[in-house]
Amino acid sequence: MIGEVPGLTRAEQRLRVALILLGLLSLAFAIGYVLMGVLGDSEYPFVANSLAKDGFFAALCAIAVADIRRFSFTVALVIGGHVLLVLGLASALVAGDTKTISHTIVGPGLGAGTLVWVWLGAASAIVVLFSWLYESAERARFGLRYLGHAEFRALAALAEVLVPGHDVSPERVAANVDSYLAGFPAQGKWRIRIALLGLAIYPLLWLRPPFTIMSLDMRRRFVERRFVVDVWDRRLPGPLRTLSQAMIRAAQQMAFLGFYGEERAQREVGYLPFSARPGAAEAIAEAHRPHPPLRCLGPRDIHGETITTDVVVVGSGAGGAIAAYRLAERGRDVLVLERGRHVDPTDFTESESTQLGQLYADGALTLSKDFRFQVAQGMCVGGSTVVNNGVCFDLPDRVLDRWLDADGLDAGLDAAALRASFVRLRDFLPVVPMRATGPLNPGGAKFVEGVRRLGLNHAPWTFGIVSANIGDCLGCGYCNIGCAYGKKLSMLDNVLPRALQ
């Protein structure tokens, strides 16, 4: 019984052995209570209650040991039972009513309360030990590197609701998210854990069982009712509504990320990665980057305590890179500091989750302070220009007017100089109109045609295909996860290498 079970992880084997020992101990206590009742002078209600308690613990342990994966939830019941025991003993200590228990079990002579303290300590140790064993076993079972098992199960339960009936199992979706979250350091990742934990216990607020143990139908109804209807009808008080929206938004986003990152899911929805599309291999082979790759120094390349330079530019994005270029052009010695990683475009992949982790601040998980919207900000050498769409347009007059409004922002900008800067920048990057034909999505041209036919292209609106700092685009559609082909003239591919030259 205590030997190794094939197929279980070491952590699961460890939990199983601990359950066997606890089960035997509980069984021994159960028998001991009966003997004390029959042979000794222990009071009947005490004996009956104690027999029921330890018999129940022994039974739960036996069920879990029989199939630790299938019945792992019984471990949670064992832990929960011991938590109740701790609370019961603590309340006896608070009430100062310990004499009866001491007398009943070990007879007079032991100081009142001593046994209860020992008992309390043992029950607390079981809670701590089994919580750790249970968590490690569950994490090992699913190979988790970041999420706790409660969050993992909550996400899997939501994935089953949101993307049902596919080849990709909900556990697989949640495991993909775990790999994604483990793949990058970020301050804001804890919010995802909180959101998933919140989702797991949110139904308790409505006197429903935890999300993870609801049936699929019940979960589906709960999600529709509490996260759609209640929010739409504004049935929840403001702060609770905001929190519940943030919680479901974060959890939902993770579920979709984990699902669509899976190759099988992509096949199911008919998505083909660019490199596998007809003609892509030839186009990629002919693609040349506009400048030699950028060279950067990492912390390990810096020796000594001091770097001497004329100018330090903090940040290598659209502002910092242009400033560095102009300063270098004037013969200044410039040091550009960047907190994000330097990822060479040859190392870009077609995996959205990998690229989000590599190139975005907080893996694109940054939320506004009120949790209402997401802030997708690049955090890498080249900044957000590496992950934007490259679309460029001059500042609209109405916006500039607002900035210059003496009663408003009063930014004090020289409007003529600003306009001249836009012209220079268009020439410098360069910014070019995108073609209606070629690799661009044909839907774009159709949309413009539709607007024209409806006669909507009149002042103050203008319609057309955008201009962008993109040249000879291959049309892969990966602008938001970084261009691996040197076609987006970002700071990483264009301005910083030129500044270095």
Q: Is 386 an interacting residue with respect to ligand SF4 (CB under 6 A)?
A: no
* Closest C-alpha among 468, 500, 501 to residue 487: 468
Whole-number Å distance between alpha carbons of 284 and 441: 19
Which whole-number Å values give the CA distances from 316 to 166, 340, 487, in the listed order?
42, 9, 19
From the list 488, 491, 496, 499, which residue makes contact with ligand SF4 (rule: CB under 6 A)?
488
Contact yes or no for 361/337 (Cβ under 8 A):
no
* Residue placing its CB nearer to ligand SF4 in the complex, 290 or 477: 477
Cβ 374 to ligand SF4, closest distance in Å? 21
CB of 472 to ligand SF4, least distance (A): 8
Q: With respect to ligand SF4, which residue has the nearer C-beta, 319 or 477?
A: 477
Least distance to ligand SF4, CB of residue 490, Å: 9
Count, residues near ligand SF4 per rule CB under 6 A = 12
User: One-letter amino acid identity for 71?
Assistant: F
CB of 353 to ligand SF4, least distance (A): 17
Q: How far is the CB of 487 from ligand SF4 (least distance, A)?
A: 4
Residue with tokens 């609701």: 161
Closest to ligand SF4 by CB, 91 vs 346, is 346
Q: How far is the CB of 267 from ligand SF4 (least distance, A)?
A: 21
Taking CB under 6 A as the criterion, the residue among 485, 491, 497, 499 binding ligand SF4 is 485
Segment 312 to 371, residues that bind ligand SF4, using CB under 6 A: none
Nearer to ligand SF4, 179 or 480 (CB): 480
From residue 443, how far is each of 312, 423, 450, 474 by CA, in Å? 45, 29, 10, 17
Helix (H, G, I), strand (E, B) or coil at 308: coil
Q: Which is nearer to ligand SF4, 172 or 487 (CB)?
A: 487
User: Is 487 near ligand SF4 (CB under 6 A)?
Assistant: yes
Q: Which is nearer to ligand SF4, 211 or 485 (CB)?
A: 485
Which of residues 37 and 378 has its CB atom nearest to ligand SF4 in the complex?
A: 378
- C-beta of 257: minimal distance to ligand SF4 in Å? 19
How far is CA 256 from each of CA 156, 398, 485, rounded to the nearest angstrom? 11, 38, 27
**Closer of 328 and 392 to ligand SF4 (Cβ):** 392
Assess 431 for contact with ligand SF4 (CB under 6 A). no
Span of 56-64, 90-98, 365-373, 485-493 interacting with ligand SF4 by CB under 6 A: 485-493
In the complex with ligand SF4, the residue whose CB is nearer, 277 or 295, is 277
* Lookup result for tokens 């909180």: 194
For every residue of 381-439, DSSP letters joined together read TTGGGGTS--EE-PPPHHHHHHHH-TTTT-----HHHHHHHHHHHHHHTT-EEPPSSSS
Task: Take residue 248 and report the two structure tokens written for it.
Answer: 């479901």
Q: Are 78 and 130 in contact (CB under 8 A)?
A: yes
Residues numbered 455-484 forming contacts with ligand SF4, rule: CB under 6 A: 470, 473-479, 483
What Å distances lie between residue 102 and 33, 98, 122, CA to CA?
14, 6, 16
Residue closer to ligand SF4 (CB basis): 98 or 358: 358
Give the burial string for 293-323 (b: 16+ CB within 10 Å, else e): ebebeeeeeeeeeeeeeeeebebbbbebbbb
List, in order, residues 6 or more apart from 359 with CB less than 8 Å away: 340, 341, 343, 378, 379, 380, 386, 387, 481, 482
Q: Token pair of 110, please? A: 């032991």
Omega before residue 433 within 30° of 0, cis: no
- Residue 481 CB, shortest distance to ligand SF4, in Å, is 8
Q: Is the dihedral of CA 268, 271, 274, 278 positive or negative?
A: positive
CB of 292 vs ligand SF4, minimal distance in Å: 18
Cα–Cα distance between 142 and 386 in angstroms, integer? 34
CA gap 174, 159 in Å, rounded: 8
Nearer to ligand SF4, 82 or 488 (CB): 488
**Which CB, 139 or 488, lies closer to ligand SF4?**
488
In the complex, minimum distance from the CB of residue 415 to ligand SF4, in angstroms, rounded to a whole number = 32
Q: Is 467 helix (H, G, I), strand (E, B) or coil?
A: strand
Q: Which of residues 134-163 bind ligand SF4 (CB under 6 A)?
A: none
Taking the C-alpha atoms of residue 34 and residue 49, their distance in angstroms, rounded to an integer, is 11
We find the least distance from the C-beta atom of residue 466 to ligand SF4, in angstroms, to be 13
**Residue 471 beta carbon to ligand SF4: minimum distance, rounded to whole angstroms:** 8
Nearest one of 468, 436, 470, 440 to 452, comparing CA atoms:
436
The binding site for ligand SF4 (CB under 6 A) comprises: 470, 473-479, 483, 485, 487-488
